[in-house]
Amino acid sequence: MSQVVSFHPPAAPVTLPTDATWPVEDIIALFELPLNELLSRAQEAHKAHFPEGDVELATLISIKTGGCEEDCGYCSQSSHHETELKASKILPLDEILEAARAAKANGAIRFCMGASGRSPKERDMPKYEEIVRAVKALGLETCATLGMLREEQALRLKEAGLDYYNHNLDTSPEYYPSVITTRNYQERLDTLGRVRNAGLKVCCGGIIGMGESRRDRAGLLAQLANLNPYPNAVPINHLVPIAGTPLANVEPLDTFEFARTIAVARIIMPKARVRLSAGRESMSEAEQALCFMAGANSIFYGEKLLTTGNAEAEKDRALLKKLGLKIKEIEADHHHHDHD
Ligand code: SAM
Ligand code: DTB
Ligand code: SF4
């Protein structure tokens, strides 16, 4: 005898009008749901907004590494910490293009270029514009993360063909000063506003597992969800502990709490690409699968993040195949599909 297993949708609605604001208390209440209930709500939101259920692959490159004047407590590139990292100038264009071609040949649709530093120097802007123009011409989506931008710099990058700008809020406003002292939260928000005004898509998320509380995780997600509009892409990084940094020995975070963070991000920002970002190297396949079940639909793809390692491309492709997850293909005109 065959039995029909019915799926009971959650009683409470999971989608909200885009102008909804999220009080931190409501977000904490989501974190406190039984895990099954939280995951099923996240899956409802995911299915409603991403019926294809595909996963986006973005490849990272560090185009300028180390020697940074900022003191971000998690970062290998800050000159305030004694790490093993060697600083380098902006990479030559041909090296960047070679990496971009390889990323595209491997199936990535976006190429994300990171540079160390508080903000781009004026004399480096023409180089960054040239790099963006050339990568875009390869038929890849472009993303850059260069620190704080002035209005004019955001406009110049847009003009050069930049699609996304990554600028993370990293943690809650309350916890921020225990992680970074050389800049403040409002400066991050101001750059995000300029990026949005320049017509760039916003990629903004944070780092989980820095010793913050659940309230801080909820506070970060509240900041993100209450941006109007909320970010197009939300990278959720797990701290990669770096020897020599102040956060090198932070107690590792419980896997389920990390998965809950992804699920809550999916529910409160249902149209965003939620990226299971840094930290996958220390996760098992089952732990990563849990994150996909929680609504993650994007990953960093390729053997390196900025300064640390990442899973091998082949292994990732094999994992996605095992899970029956389709890889997102590049769109001829992606403006129709992303929310702006
Ligand atoms: N310098 C620019 C800035 O800070 O805005 C751009 C590059 S910075 C390395 C980009 C982001 O990488 C940071 O905001 C942080 O979220 C993430 N990140 C850096 N080090 C990390 C680590 N050890 N573990 C997890 N994420 C990290
Ligand atoms: C983001 O949210 N994560 C990426 C990207 N944006 C620039 C960076 C992760 C860095 C992990 C540590 C490292 O490789 O240095
Ligand atoms: Fe510098 Fe960015 Fe690292 Fe902070 S996160 S130390 S700004 S490279």
Q: Which ligand is nearest to the CA of 181?
A: 3
* Amino acid identity, position 189: L
> 78: closest CA among 89, 65, 91, 92?
65
Residue linked to tokens 């590139």: 77
Task: Give residue 8's pLDDT.
Answer: 47
* Amino acid identity, position 31: F
- For 254-289, letters b (16+ CB in 10 Å) and e give ebeebbbbbbbbbbbbbbbbbbbbbbbeebeeebbb
Q: What's the count of helices (H) and strands (E) in the chain, helices before strands? A: 11, 9
Mean pLDDT for each 10-residue chunk of the chain (340 residues)?
44 51 96 98 98 96 97 97 92 97 96 98 98 98 98 98 98 98 97 97 98 98 96 98 97 96 98 97 96 97 94 95 95 53
Catalytically annotated residue among 41, 68, 110, 217: 68
Give the H/E segment covering residue 60.
Answer: strand 56-64
116 lines ligand 3 (CB under 6 A): yes
CA-CA distance, 265 to 168, in Å (whole number)? 14
Task: Give residue 58's pLDDT.
Answer: 97
CA-CA distance, 68 to 76, in Å (whole number)? 9
From the alpha carbon of 80, which atom of ligand 3 is closest?
A: 6
Whether 68 is a known active-site residue: answer: yes
From the alpha carbon of 238, which atom of ligand 1 is closest?
A: 25
268 lines ligand 3 (CB under 6 A): no
Q: Which residues make Cβ contacts (< 8 Å) with residue 166, sequence separation at least 6?
A: 112, 114, 143, 144, 145, 203, 204, 233, 235
Q: State the angle between helix axes of 24-31 and 255-268 in degrees (0 to 180), rounded to the nearest 10.
A: 130
Q: Whose CA is nearest to atom 4 of ligand 3?
A: 72
Whether 291 is a known active-site residue: answer: no
Q: What token pair was written down for 234?
A: 């939300």
Ligand 2 centroid to Cα of residue 306, in Å, is 6
Q: Whose CA is nearest to atom 1 of ligand 1?
A: 116
- Residue 179 CA neighbour count, 13 Å, CB half: 25
CA-CA distance, 90 to 247, in Å (whole number)? 27
Ligand 1 centroid to Cα of residue 25, in Å, is 28
Catalytically annotated residue among 194, 266, 275, 280: 275
